[in-house]
Amino acid sequence: MTILSNITRVHKLINPLKRTDNLLVVIRRTFASNGSFDYDLAVIGGGSGGLACAKEAVNQGAKVAVLDYVTPSPQGTKWGLGGTCVNVGCIPKKLMHQAAILGESIHEAVAYGWQVPSVESIKIDWSALTQAVQNHIKSVNWVTRVDLRDKKIDYINGLGEFKDPHTLIATMKNGSKKELTARNVVIAVGGRPHYPDIPGALEYCITSDDIFSLSHPPGKTLVVGAGYIGLECAGFLNSLGFPATVLIRSVPLRGFDQQMARVVTAEMEEKGIKLEHKCIPLSVEKLESGQLKARWLNTETQEQHEDLFDTVLIATGRYALTKQINLPAAGVNCVSPNGKIIADAEQTNVPHIYAVGDVLEGRPELTPVAIHAGRLLARRMFSGAAQQMDYDNVATTIFTPLEYGCVGVSEETAVQRHGADNIEVYHAYYKPTEFFIPQRNIRNCYLKAVALREAPQRILGLHFVGPVAGEVIQGFAAAMKCGITMEQLMNTVGIHPTVAEEFTRLNITKRSGKDPNPASCCS
């Protein structure tokens, strides 16, 4: 690593404009892994963070190996290279969300004049949907493998663990062991779904690991948990025609702006999803009929309830996969009680061992976060770069039936940090133009900007519930990075007629007590 860094510095001096040209890569590869190591970098985990880090390290001239292995879920589901996002996360979730939106659009199309043979007969073919989703995933798995091969990254399809701080053991599918040494190691093992400790959970319930490839239609479904995954899954299942009930232990979307969370769940209830507040699961039993009898407890009233379901989907959070990698053998001890790695600047207490992605304590569990942190880390490791990952103001979207996108802090957090007197909240209900003809529910189309009260009113948080919330929020996230103020937002000319322009039309403060409902579409 020292040699590589020195080469970079010398190269920058003599050739400041072309930092990573071919010459540099050739020189580095020549020196790569000098000494007694097989690789400059070994990455444990071929998901979003691990792959991004590995590819960037190769761009910087390093010799790299990636170990990736998927342990089947308790229901036996397994998948290929690429990690959670591609196989059992963002991608299949977004595709199922899209399938749900399309189903609703067919009904709306009738109002626009489309002649549909029989609206009542419209229903989803679950097996065609899962097949299409899985075909796409397999193509991504394939492209990922080819990409690694083209980049000369050694892909080892084995379960990795430390033997010592520089040596990894990979246990392959057939049980054989492979040993390799690396100057640097990145832990990017991500996480897997947590199961509550109740009878029947492991035996009869599924998780997000299983739902996207489920061999049969899920039918009436109980979703346990009201975080991102619980609400998203309940949302698309219900819209696909599978009635959904959600058990909420405390509040939905804890940690998010709670006014916005209530707007999101109000829309879900209006669409027919049952929400059981303050409820925890007690047991799941399989009946002779094949149905599942679930029992739960309302922790406020202490009443017990039970109902029959075809599927119980657990979405009670995820745990980091650190137990199986023998961290003590590497001397890594910066591990939190829940198994996550505490690492400033992605570096553990052992200087050549790093961590990125979901495995990190206190970082957003999001694909672009893992990717960005992985890339920056590789540049710091192999090209002498200094830029650190900025985990603040990361935008995110929850793909519920009406999507919720946000960037920055919640109203509660802003008030807590600055005091209610120093915060101004601008808000509005709005009517998306496309909702007029089918007369769609507009009660929950709502947005707000949380800003400092003092001019020029720097914006601390933007929150939007409505169609394509992710697309709306992404651009504003860049503006937030630049320190956008309410003055600037109000001086931005909108694009009409879009839903994103609603941010540029905000002018009513909560403090004023004025009605935030819109007068007309163009007022």
Which positions are catalytic?
496
375 binds ligand NAP (CB under 6 A): no
Q: Are strands 353-355 and 318-320 parallel, antiparallel or unpaired?
A: unpaired
95: partner contacted, choices ligand FAD, ligand NAP, none (Cβ within 5-8 A by kind) = none
Q: Which residues pair with 177 in a beta bridge?
A: 171
Chosen residue from 40, 56, 232, 411 binding ligand NAP by CB under 6 A: 232
Q: State the minimum distance, in angstroms, from the CB of residue 83 to ligand FAD.
A: 3
Chosen residue from 58, 148, 185, 188 binding ligand FAD by CB under 6 A: 188
Question: Closer to ligand NAP at the Cβ: 61 or 408?
Answer: 408
CA distance 93 to 99: 10
129 binds ligand FAD (CB under 6 A): no
CA distance 420 to 233: 35
| 266 Cβ contact partners less than 8 Å away, ≥ 6 residues apart | 443, 444
Adjacency order of strands within the sheet including 274-277: 274-277, 244-248, 221-224, 311-314
364 binds ligand NAP (CB under 6 A): yes
Which has the closest alpha carbon to 170: 318, 54, 326? 326
Chosen residue from 226, 264, 451, 460 binding ligand NAP by CB under 6 A: 226
Q: State the minimum distance, in angstroms, from the CB of residue 429 to ligand NAP.
A: 24
159: partner contacted, choices ligand FAD, ligand NAP, none (Cβ within 5-8 A by kind) = ligand FAD
Chain centre distance of CA 417: 26
Chain centre distance of CA 211: 16
Q: State the minimum distance, in angstroms, from the CB of residue 319 to ligand NAP.
A: 10
225 binds ligand FAD (CB under 6 A): no
Indicate the SS3 state at residue 345. Answer: helix
Stretch that binds ligand FAD, among 271-279, 282-290, 320-328, 456-464 (CB under 6 A): 320-328
* Cα→Cα distances 374→40, 295, 368, Å: 15, 43, 10
367 binds ligand FAD (CB under 6 A): yes
254: partner contacted, choices ligand FAD, ligand NAP, none (Cβ within 5-8 A by kind) = ligand NAP
372 binds ligand NAP (CB under 6 A): no
Neighbouring CB atoms inside 10 A of 296's CB total: 23
Chosen residue from 263, 284, 292, 366 binding ligand FAD by CB under 6 A: 366
Token look-up 């996480």 returns 191
Chosen residue from 40, 50, 56, 294 binding ligand FAD by CB under 6 A: 50
Question: Closer to ligand FAD at the Cβ: 4 or 253?
Answer: 253
Question: Closer to ligand FAD at the Cβ: 45 or 516?
Answer: 45
398 binds ligand NAP (CB under 6 A): yes
229 binds ligand NAP (CB under 6 A): yes
- Asked if residue 479 lies in contact with residue 407, where contact means CB atoms within 8 angstroms, the answer is no
CA distance 90 to 57: 25
476 binds ligand NAP (CB under 6 A): no
Can you state the angle between helices 2-14 and 367-382, rounded to 10 degrees? 80
- How many helices (H) and strands (E) the chain has is answered by 15, 21
Q: State the minimum distance, in angstroms, from the CB of residue 47 to ligand NAP.
A: 12
Chosen residue from 20, 59, 283, 324 binding ligand FAD by CB under 6 A: 324
**Length of the chain in residues, anyone?**
523
Token look-up 């190996």 returns 65
User: Applying CB under 6 A, what is the total number of residues that bind ligand NAP?
Assistant: 25
Which has the closest alpha carbon to 357: 309, 320, 310, 302? 320
401 binds ligand NAP (CB under 6 A): no
Token look-up 């792959």 returns 51
- Asked if residue 16 lies in contact with residue 114, where contact means CB atoms within 8 angstroms, the answer is no
Adjacency order of strands within the sheet including 446-452: 396-398, 403-408, 459-466, 446-452, 423-429
Nearest residue to ligand NAP by CB is 227
473 binds ligand FAD (CB under 6 A): no
Q: State the minimum distance, in angstroms, from the CB of residue 50 to ligand FAD.
A: 5
User: Applying CB under 6 A, what is the total number of residues that bind ligand FAD?
Assistant: 36
252 binds ligand FAD (CB under 6 A): no
130: partner contacted, choices ligand FAD, ligand NAP, none (Cβ within 5-8 A by kind) = none
**End-to-end CA distance of the chain, in Å?**
61
224: partner contacted, choices ligand FAD, ligand NAP, none (Cβ within 5-8 A by kind) = ligand NAP
Q: Each residue of 357-386: b (16+ CB within 10 Å) or e? A: bbbbbebebbbebbbbbbbbbbbbbbbbbe
61: partner contacted, choices ligand FAD, ligand NAP, none (Cβ within 5-8 A by kind) = none
Type and span of the H or E element at 26: helix 22-31
Per-residue 3-state assignment (H helix, E strand, C coil) for 466-504: ECCHHHHHHHHHHHHHCCCEHHHHHCCCCCCCCCHHHHH
Question: Closer to ligand FAD at the Cβ: 159 or 273?
Answer: 159
Question: Closer to ligand FAD at the Cβ: 24 or 189?
Answer: 189
Which has the closest alpha carbon to 224: 201, 203, 256? 201
Contacts with ligand FAD, residue ranges (CB under 6 A):
44-50, 67-70, 83-85, 88-90, 93, 159-160, 188-190, 208, 229, 321, 324-325, 357-359, 365-368, 370
Residues that bind ligand NAP (CB under 6 A): 196, 224-230, 232, 249-250, 254, 280-281, 315-318, 364-366, 396-399
